[in-house]
Amino acid sequence: MIRNIIILLGLPGSGKGTQGEFISRELAIPHISTGDILRKMIHEGGKDADLIAEYMKEGKLIPDNLVNKLVKRFILSDTCKNGCILDGYPRTLSQAEYFIENIDANISTIFFDVSDEVATKRVLGRVACASCNKIYNEYFDKPKKQGVCDKCGSKEFIARSDDDKDTILLRLEEYKKNTLPMIEYYKKQGKFFTVSAEGAIKKVTEEVASIIKKIWLCHIFLYYAVLIF
């Protein structure tokens, strides 16, 4: 079975997570954040938990073989039988090549273009409601009522342990070194879209909505073309 996969690329803080959730609701396919999966593995413990925690604390990329195995298992599961959105994978050319060679998929890529300054502020100002996990930002997207979650009314907020200044700077450097080269790689693959991600969330979402309509129309065309021929 060929799965329809949308890959989200962009700096930490470029809005991939927010827009990934939007695309997931619109297309009724799961949004897979490898960062969330890895943090869950750390919380649950296990043989790789300490190693993963050390890499994330230092802002370094998780070894390719571990991430490849984890993502492949998710994508080939029934959860992703109708496709999925990948946020945070692949992050290196090696991972991208592994994906092409080992997973039968129809791939579209959306790149969220944002400056280092804006990305850093978004990460450092990011907090989540402790009850419902709704994301806010003290610079760009505060709760309507100070200190109270808009969604569930909770007054408790938490920041991710790896959202500190030193770690974000390391993550930006790792991104530029390992992930930026993939932009040209996926441009050559076709179905590559760029979104200016520095504007208001609503404006970015509108641009993303226009893109996913094009992507899904293309997927429908390919589906019927396979049936006919």
91 is catalytic: yes
Q: What is the pLDDT of residue 207?
A: 95
pTM: 0.77
**Range among 45-49, 61-65, 83-87, 134-138 rated most confident:** 83-87
Is the pLDDT at 219 greater than 60? The verdict is no
3 is catalytic: no
- Residues 214, 134, single domain; the answer is no
126 is catalytic: yes
- Residues 213, 185, single domain; the answer is yes
Give, in order, the Cα–Cα distances in Å from 35 to each of 67, 91, 184: 10, 11, 23
Is the pLDDT at 7 greater than 90? The verdict is yes
Strand stretches in 114-224, DSSP E: 126-129, 135-137, 157-158, 192-196
Q: What is the mean pLDDT of residues 184-195?
A: 90
The enclosing domain of 21 has a CATH number of: 3.40.50.300
Share of the chain above pLDDT 70, in %: 92
| From 25, 81, 171, 203, the catalytic residue | 171
Q: What is the pLDDT of residue 220?
A: 54
- Residues 155, 58, single domain; the answer is no
Q: Find tokens 């293309």 and name the residue.
A: 218
39 is catalytic: no
Q: What is the pLDDT of residues 56-115, one digit of tens each?
A: 777 777 888 888 987 888 888 888 888 899 998 898 889 999 999 998 888 999 999 999
Q: What is the 3-state secondary structure (H, E, C) of 146-208?
A: CCECCCCCCCCEECCCCCCHHHHHHHHHHHHHHCCHHHHHHHHHCCEEEEECCCCHHHHHHHH
| Number of domains present in the structure of the chain | 2
- Residues 67, 148, single domain; the answer is no
The residue range of the domain holding 218 is 3-116+166-228
In a domain, 121, yes or no: no
